[in-house]
Amino acid sequence: MRTRLALALVALLALLAAAAGMQSASAFTSVPTGAPARPAPPATPDPSLTDHQLTYAEGPLDNPDKGLAVYYNAGTDQNTGYPHSITWSYFPLSAVMTNAGDCTALDWTPVEKMLNETASYGNTAAIRFYLDYPSGNPTNGMPACWNGKVPTNNDTYWGTQSPDYNNAFLLSSLQQFIGQFGAKYDGDPRIGFIQMGLIGYWGEWHTWPENGTGGQPDFMATDANAALIVNAFANAFHTTKIEVRYPTSGGGAANNLDVGYHDDSFCYREGTPLAGVTLPQSMGGADYSQLQYALNEGVENKWITDSMGGEVRPEIQGTAFNTWSTGANGSDDDMKACIEAEHTTWKLDQGSTSYSPTDPDVGAAVRAMGYDLTVPDAYYKNTVSGTASIGVKISNDGVAPFYHPWTVRLGLKDSTGKVVKTWNTSWDLRQVMPLKIRAFPDWNVGADPTYLPFGYPQYFNTSVDTSSVTAGSYQLVMDVVNPLSAVSSSAKSLRFANAAQNADGWLGLGAINVGAGGGDTTAPSAPTGLAVSGTTAGSASLTWTASTDNVGVTGYDVYRGSTKVGSTAGTGYTDTGLSASTAYSYTVDAYDAAGNTSARSGPVTATTQAGGGSSSSYEAEASANTLTGTAVVAACTGCSGGQKVGYLGNGATVAFHNVAGGSGGATQVTVAYTTAVARTFQISANGGTPVSVSVTPTADWQTTATTTVTLPLNAGSANTVTIANPTDWAPDIDRITVGVGAGGSTAGSFEAEASANTLTGTAVVAACGGCSGGQKVGYLGNGATVTFRSVAGGSGGAKQVTVAYTTAVARSFQISANGGTPVTVSVGPTADWQTTATTTVTLSLNAGSANTVTIANPTGWAPDIDRITV
C-alpha cells in the first residue's frame, strides 16, 4: 500500500504541474518558424591587439558528442572501426526496476557498468530505456512490480505483449522512475544524450501497425498521457541533453521545452514512389517524414537550442554515405540534404564499423554533423606584463552549435611543452552558430539548395593576470575542458580545425613574451631554400624552407633588392606590380615575437615574363587585388598559397589587377574555386560583358576545382579581371590562371590523378583533402612511377616545373622529361599527408603539347604527388 500511495502522489503532483503550465520545467525560449533572423553580430577585435592568423586543418572525426555512434558491446574495444566518441545502448526498465514488491527500489548496476566501461575509452554514452522490444531480448521490459497492476495488449503483428500505455499505474510508475533517473544522472559527464524512450515499440513513441489505422487497434498512449512523460523528463533533466522521437510526440508537448529530437529512420526512402522519411515533402519526402512533422509543428529551427540525434535507418547502414556527392539513390536519400536540413548532431550507425577512416564522403558528412569549430585569428600583444588582453575568433563550419557550457581555458606552455599557467574564461561556445544554413523550400527564399548566412566568426575577449608568471617566452594556448576528464583520463578533447591543434587538447595560438622583453634574445635561423616558384609579366612568386627558433617563428620579411616589399606568416610570397622581362633580386629574413630578426637568406633572381609568356597565375588573396563588400581573405589548406577569397557574391567582388594579356584577344582564363554547394558566378575583363558560369560542389570548402572561360584581354599587363555574383553567393576563389601562348593555350597545370596519365607498380590515386581536385597519387617510388602526358611546353626549351606534393616524412624523388636525364629532388616533411607544399625544378621541354614528365624513385619511397605546373 505504501508503494501505491507514493505512486499516486507522484501522479497527482505531475498533473498539478501540467495544470500550472509545467512551470517546473527548464526555462526555454522557442525559436520562431520560417527563415530565422541572424544573431546579432559580435564585437569587433580590439584594434590595439596584434592579429595572429592561424592555419586551417581538418578537424578530427571523433570530436566529443557529435558524429557517428556505435552499439555498446560489453567487454570489447570501443575505439575500433570508424572514429567515434559516442556509444549507444538500450536498457529494459526491468533491468533496473528489479524489486517485485517495490517499484521505487532501483538497481542502477547495469547502467553503471555500461557508463564506466564507455568512459574508460574516453567516450560518452547515449542511452534509452524501453518497455516493449519486438524481436528483442528481452521483448518485454516491464518490471515484475507491475504484475497484476498494468494490463497488456496482445500484439498479433509482432507476437508480443504490449503494455497499456494509458494505465494510471504505469504512468505514475514511469513518472516516479524518471524523477529518480534525473536525480541520479542529470549532469553526469559520462552521458552525452538521453532519449526519452519508454513509450511504444523500442521506446520509439509509436506502435505501428497497431496505431488505430487500417482496422487495427491503437496501442499508443494518448497525447495527454504521453505529454506527462515528456514533462517528467523536462522536469528531471536540466543539464544533460534529452531527446524525444517526434515533434508530434505527446501532441507536440516537447516543442516549447528544452528538448531535442531523435530521427530513427534517418535518410531512408520508402514506398511507391520512393519518398524520404527524413526530408520534408518540398524536398522529396513523405507527408509523415521527420522534417515535415517539424514544419507542421513550426519547430524546424529548434536545432538552434537543442540537439538532433537518432539512427541511420538500419537497412542503409554501411551505404548511406555513398551518395554524399550524388544525391538520392534507391533507398538511400540525399545524405547531404538530410544532415543540412535536419541540423544533425549525431547518428547511431553500426555499419560505420566497416567505413574507411579515409573515405572522403563519410569524413565530409561527419565533420558537417554538429559543430566544426576553427580559430582563424588570435588577438594579443606579442609582449605582455601584468594584466593582458587576449581575444580569439571562433567560426563554426558545422550544421549545429556546440550545446554544452564547457569551460574554455587559456594557458601558457614553456619551451618544453609543459603548461605552466592556465586561466578560465567566461566564453560560451554555444554562441558560435553555423556560418550558413540550408533554407527549406517552404520558406520561399530561393530554389533548393539555397544557403543563408547565419552565424559569424564569434569574437571573444578576456583579461588575464600574468603577474605571477616568470618572465620569458611561451606559447599561448587554448583548450576546452571536457567534464568527462574528471572521471576518465582517456576523455576525448574537443579539438579545433586548425593546424596548430595539439593531440593533448591544447590549441596553439602563437608565441608570446611575458615580462619586459620576455627574456627571449635568440634570433631565428636564416631562411634557406629560397626559390622562384613562378613568374608572370607582372609578378614573381617565391617559396623557402621554414626557419627555426627557440620559441617560435612569427613571420618573414621579403626584400626586393634592399627594399622591404612585404611580410608573411607562411613560407611563400607573391610580389606584384613588376615590369615585364625584368630581373629582380630577392632575399628573406625571419623574425620572432620578441622582435629578434634572423640574417637574410641567400639571394635569388626572378625574371618576369614578356608580354606573351606561356601562362600566368594570379592569387585571389594577392594584396594588389581589390576586394569589395563582404569579400575576405580566408585560410584554405587545399588552395595555392594556402589562402582564398570567400564571402563573394551578393554584391561582393574580387578584382585581379595587372593581369597579363600577351598580345591581346580571346584568351582562356582558368578559375580555381572551392564550394561545398552548387553556385554561379560572373567573370569579366576590363569592365566588359560578364560571362556567367555555373559550378558543381567540390568535396568541401578546402578542396579546389577549376573551370575555364574565354575572355577578351588587352595586350600587355594592365588587364583587370573581376569575379562577382550580383544576386547570390559565389564560390570562394583560389586563383585565376591566364593562358596567353600561341593559340590561346591554357595554363600548364596538370593533375597527377588525371586519367590520361600512366601509373606503374604500386602507384594509386588516393583522396587528399588539401590537394587540388581532392586527389593525389600515392605509393610512388621503389619502382612505382607516375607519368604526366600531353604536357604543354610552349615554344620549348628550359622550363620551370613546379611539383606540388605531400609527405609527412622527408623524402626524395627523380623527375625527368621525355625520357631524359632525371633531376633528383629532396623535400622536407609537410604538415601531414593531406597538406601540400611545392618545389620547382628546370626541365627541358619540347615545343607543343606532347611532352611527358615522369616522377619516380628507384630505391626508396617518393612523396605523394598532387600536380605539376609548367
User: pLDDT (tens digit, 9 = 90+) per residue, 239-259?
Assistant: 999 999 999 999 999 999 999
pLDDT of residue 614: 44
Q: Are 713 and 844 within one domain?
A: no
Q: Are 216 and 164 within one domain?
A: yes
Number of domains composing the chain: 5
744: number of Cβ within 10 Å = 14
Q: Is residue 851 over pLDDT 90? A: no
Q: Are 752 and 742 within one domain?
A: no
Q: Is residue 706 over pLDDT 80? A: yes
Please state the rounded mean pLDDT for residues 202-216.
Answer: 91
Residues in the chain: 870
pLDDT of residue 663: 65
Q: Is residue 89 over pLDDT 50? A: yes
Number of separate helices (H) and strands (E) present in the chain: 7, 52
pLDDT of residue 23: 32
With bands split at pLDDT 50, 70 and 90, how would you rate the model's confidence at 18? very low
Highest mean pLDDT out of 345-349, 652-656, 747-751: 345-349
In a domain, 138, yes or no: yes
In a domain, 33, yes or no: no
Please state the rounded mean pLDDT for residues 112-120.
Answer: 97
Q: Are 325 and 197 within one domain?
A: no
Q: Are 327 and 312 within one domain?
A: yes
Q: Are 290 and 160 within one domain?
A: no
Which of these three, 338, 354, 369, is where a domain ends? 369
Residue among 422, 597, 490 nearest 123 (CA): 490
Who wins on pLDDT, 736 or 637?
A: 736
Q: Is residue 327 over pLDDT 60? A: yes
Please state the rounded mean pLDDT for residues 134-150.
Answer: 90
Q: Are 356 and 489 within one domain?
A: no
Which residue segment(s) compose the domain that 846 sits in?
Answer: 748-870
Q: Percent of the chain, pLDDT > 90?
A: 62
- What's the 3-state SS for 67-93? EEEEECCCCCCCCCCCCCCEEEEEEEH
pLDDT of residue 139: 83
Lowest mean pLDDT of 276-285, 674-683, 840-849, name the range: 840-849
Helix (H, G, I), strand (E, B) or coil at 139: coil
In a domain, 558, yes or no: no
Q: Which residue has the cell 554501411?
A: 318
Q: Is residue 21 over pLDDT 50? A: no
Please state the rounded mean pLDDT for residues 131-141.
Answer: 86
CA distance 84 to 70: 8
Q: Give Cα separations from 561 to 226, 524, 570, 734 (angstroms).
A: 79, 21, 21, 29
**Residue 759 CA neighbour count, 13 Å, CB half:** 17
Which of these three, 475, 499, 514, is where a domain ends? 514
Lowest mean pLDDT of 281-290, 345-354, 737-746, name the range: 737-746
With bands split at pLDDT 50, 70 and 90, how would you rate the model's confidence at 419? very high
Contact 853, 865 (CB under 8 A): no
Please state the rounded mean pLDDT for residues 23-47.
Answer: 76
Q: Are 384 and 364 within one domain?
A: no
In a domain, 572, yes or no: no
With bands split at pLDDT 50, 70 and 90, how would you rate the model's confidence at 30? low
List of E strands, 752-859: 758-759, 764-767, 775-778, 786-791, 797-806, 811-817, 823-827, 837-845, 851-856
Q: Are 662 and 734 within one domain?
A: yes
With bands split at pLDDT 50, 70 and 90, how would you rate the model's confidence at 610? low
CATH assignment of the domain containing 828:
2.60.120.260
- What's the 3-state SS for 194-247? EECCCCCECCCCCCCCCECCCCCCECCCCHHHHHHHHHHHHHHCCCCEEEECCC
Q: Is residue 726 over pLDDT 80? A: yes
Q: Are 271 and 219 within one domain?
A: no
With bands split at pLDDT 50, 70 and 90, how would you rate the model's confidence at 766? confident
pLDDT in tens, 657-696: 988 877 677 788 889 899 988 899 999 999 999 999 988 8
Lowest mean pLDDT of 449-453, 669-673, 754-758, name the range: 754-758
CATH assignment of the domain containing 105:
3.20.20.80
With bands split at pLDDT 50, 70 and 90, how would you rate the model's confidence at 438? very high
Please state the rounded mean pLDDT for residues 405-413.
Answer: 97
Lowest mean pLDDT of 562-566, 610-614, 646-650, 755-759, name the range: 610-614
Task: Give 3-state DSSP helix, strand, coil % of the chain, rounded to 5.
Answer: 15, 35, 50
How many angstroms separate the first and last alpha carbons of the chain?
A: 89
In a domain, 298, yes or no: yes
